[in-house]
Amino acid sequence: MGRKAKFSLDTKVKKGPGRKAKKQGEPEIPNHLTDGGKIEKPLSRRQKQRALKRAKKHADLAEKRKLARKSVKQQSIIKEPEVSCDSNVDSEEEFDHESTGFTDGNQSWLKPVTRKKGKQLLESDGEENHSHSEASVEGEGDQSDQEQMTLDEDEDYKVETLDDLNQNDDVESGEESNNNDECDAADSDDEVSDQQESDNNNSSNESGGIDNDDDLLPVERAAKKLRIKQKQDEKFAEEELKMNVADKDVFTFPSESEPEEPVGLQEVQRRIRDVVAVLSDFKKLRAEDRSRSEYIELLQKDLCTYYSYNRFLMERLMQLFPLSELLEFLEASEVQRPLTIRANSLKTRRRDLAQALINRGVNLDPVGKWTKVGLVIYSSAVPIGATPEYLAGHYIIQGAASLLPVMALAPQENERILDVCAAPGGKSSHIAAVMKNTGVLFANDVNEDRIKAVVGNFHRLGIVNSVISSYDGRKFSTVMKGFDRVLLDAPCSGTGVVAKDPSVKTSKDETDVTRCFTLQRQLLLEAIDCLKANSSTGGYLVYSTCSVLPEENEWVIDYALKKRDVKLVPTGLDFGTEGFTNYRHHRFHPTMKLTRRFYPHTHNMDGFFVAKLKKFSNNIREANVEKVETSDT
């Protein structure tokens, strides 16, 4: 048995049906499976229980209505309907009148649905409405058969299917539960539970008339539960918010009888927050018998207690920062700044150094776009100060803020540059790397013990163009002059590096600050005298400190502007906060905005100040020296 041969192209052989091509006959479906069978699905066990429950409930309601009618007949005083109980009596009468049309004993669970014929006319006369309401109250149980017959003529009664009756009963049970909450507590509990069951099955009732959660898909059932839970959570959150607003305490100034010091740090922190809130809107939240100075004094006392500062330094910081920024500065000063390193461009590139350290288990990133040699270290499996790369001089551990003065100085090749306060050599080595070991770098420091660290770092980093000296910076002009550029990283109080040295909080007082800015003025004037004003490439001086106090920064620069022929020029740094042109009652030179300030809470680096000066004349203003000194004192 194969395919039929095709002997010629002209004659076409007709294909036979074949065994597999035979068509099956139409299937015969039994009559009871088609729509003509009309077999009703029996009620489930749960539906039967609910039907019995409703029948029992209606029977109980009928007894209560009879008792209520007897009590109303006995009372001669008819009251106006005040609560929803009277509306229940009206609904009870309607139910009795409508159920009188049935005599087969099914009135406990069957309810005729009324449909009015024609349009319902609106009654505009208020007196007719009033008389109708009175008739509904007074005519309980006294309506005649003739009135009942007229109602039967006006209304068309029709008994619907059992499923429709279940729907109507569910709706009635929900309405009765809403109306009988205040009248009967026991009935309300049963009806609310019944209403919850009917709500859970609303979707199934609307689709097929079956009152069961089993008809819902698992996804729909889960979505319904989720919506109910969300509504409950929103309600609880709103109630909790109202409670929090109601229970919010208003700060009251402590009286003299109360203890001066709070019990613990948490109470101190809470009071600091409250006082700051009062000072932010002082006119509205202040106490009538308290002044702003009293609130500020209380805040200063609490800040000294919480952050362990002395009163002098805290007072200066409160004068320097607004209250909101002050708290941020104090919090940032309690946290160590990220560890940063500087790649030595004389021996390696930053990319190669980063790859080598990553291979040793160091997690690092570039410091930022503003520098091409800085790397920040997040974590390390090896000591950063003992790696082979460190010993070979490929990098040096240096703070990110220490890179800024050298960037502002912008040294050029084949220049003569002086670093007045060079120890321990981080900035000096950076200058030598930028100069590419050309020219001459003079690294000076008055402390001979710290000079040893400069020598060690220069040997390790491969710097060969340096001259290391140990002279007093206040007299260096007597030794050598004529430098193209000078860097003065002056000694200061260290208020910008509290995270490195927490002893600054309590050890610095007004005497220390006065001693510091006096020394800074002398060093700055001497460094200006060492500059060569007619230098072809330079004549620039960079002054920097690790302090945030204006006494050590803007005051010193303003003093130099009055004593020497110098001017402020842009630092070349793209970020940072502008310097102060006025501070409290002091007024500085308008060009002071060219200087730059850096804060730990703003730039995530040590507090720093950088100013760049250009010398345009070698003249010294001796005539005004005594006058300026007397005015400053």
pLDDT in tens, 43-61: 888 888 889 999 999 999 9
Q: How confident is the model at residue 85 (pLDDT cuts 50, 70, 90)?
A: very low
| Amino acid (1-letter code) at residue 22 | K
Give me the phi and psi of 58, to 5 degrees please: -65, -35
Q: Which residues pair with 44 in a beta bridge?
A: none
**Residue 277 annotated as binding site:** no
Which class would CATH give 401-632?
Answer: alpha beta
> Does the pLDDT value for residue 361 go beyond 80?
yes
Counting every residue, how long is the chain? 633
- pLDDT for res 246: 46
- Does residue 127 sit in helix, strand or coil? helix
**Residue 472 annotated as binding site:** yes
Average the pLDDT over each of 60-74, 90-104, 361-375 and give the range with the smallest value.
90-104
- pLDDT for res 27: 72
User: What average pLDDT does range 365-385 have in this prediction?
Assistant: 93
- pLDDT for res 617: 86
Q: Provide CB contacts within 8 A for 61, sequence distance 6+.
A: 92, 176, 187
Residue 85 annotated in active site: no
> Does the pLDDT value for residue 469 go beyond 80?
yes
Contact yes or no for 528/615 (Cβ under 8 A)? yes
- Asked whether the whole model's pTM tops 0.75, one would answer no
- pLDDT for res 151: 41
**Residue 410 annotated as binding site:** no
Helix axes of 126-138 and 84-99: crossing angle, nearest 10 degrees? 70
Please write the tens of the pLDDT for every residue from 474-527. 999 999 999 999 999 999 999 999 999 999 999 999 999 999 999 999 999 999
User: What average pLDDT does range 109-124 have in this prediction?
Assistant: 45
- pLDDT for res 28: 74
> Does the pLDDT value for residue 541 go beyond 60?
yes
Cα–Cα distance, 134 to 130 (Å, whole number) = 6
Cα–Cα distance, 208 to 197 (Å, whole number) = 17
Q: Give the count of alpha carbons within 13 A of 581, CB side only.
A: 8
**Catalytic residue of the set 304, 516, 530, 546:** 546
User: What average pLDDT does range 520-535 have in this prediction?
Assistant: 93
Cα–Cα distance, 380 to 228 (Å, whole number) = 51
Across the chain, mean pLDDT equals 77
Average the pLDDT over each of 7-11, 118-122, 359-363, 454-458 and give the range with the smallest value.
118-122
**Within the chain, how many helices (H) and strands (E) appear?**
23, 17
Which position has the higher pLDDT, 123 or 399?
Answer: 399
> Does the pLDDT value for residue 133 go beyond 90?
no
CA nearest 310: which of 486, 118, 508?
Answer: 508
> Does the pLDDT value for residue 176 go beyond 50?
no
- Does residue 545 sit in helix, strand or coil? strand
**Residue 425 annotated as binding site:** yes
- Does residue 175 sit in helix, strand or coil? helix
**Residue 426 annotated as binding site:** yes
Q: How confident is the model at residue 237 (pLDDT cuts 50, 70, 90)?
A: confident
CA nearest 112: which of 38, 65, 167, 165?
Answer: 165
CA nearest 533: which of 502, 566, 568?
Answer: 566
Q: How confident is the model at residue 277 (pLDDT cuts 50, 70, 90)?
A: confident
- pLDDT for res 405: 95
Q: Which of 141-155, 223-237, 471-485 holds the top average pLDDT? A: 471-485
> Does the pLDDT value for residue 86 go beyond 50?
no
Contact yes or no for 313/276 (Cβ under 8 A)? no
**Residue 421 annotated as binding site:** yes
> Does the pLDDT value for residue 84 go beyond 90?
no
> Does the pLDDT value for residue 184 go beyond 50?
no
Q: How confident is the model at residue 107 (pLDDT cuts 50, 70, 90)?
A: low
**Residue 156 annotated as binding site:** no
Q: How confident is the model at residue 201 (pLDDT cuts 50, 70, 90)?
A: very low
Cα–Cα distance, 549 to 513 (Å, whole number) = 9
Average the pLDDT over each of 7-11, 231-235, 263-267 and give the range with the smallest value.
7-11
Contact yes or no for 227/59 (Cβ under 8 A)? no
Contact yes or no for 411/391 (Cβ under 8 A)? no
Please write the tens of the pLDDT for every residue from 579-598. 999 998 899 999 999 999 99
| Amino acid (1-letter code) at residue 530 | C
- Round to the nearest angstrom and report the end-to-end CA distance of the chain: 127
- pLDDT for res 320: 93
Average the pLDDT over each of 194-198, 296-300, 515-519 and give the range with the smallest value.
194-198
Going from the C-alpha of 236 to that of each of 222, 231, 240, the distances in angstroms are 21, 9, 6
CA-only gyration radius of the chain, Å: 47
Domain locations along the chain: 161-197, 259-305, 401-632
**Residue 38 annotated as binding site:** no
Cα–Cα distance, 85 to 171 (Å, whole number) = 18
Average the pLDDT over each of 187-191, 312-316, 439-443 and give the range with the smallest value.
187-191
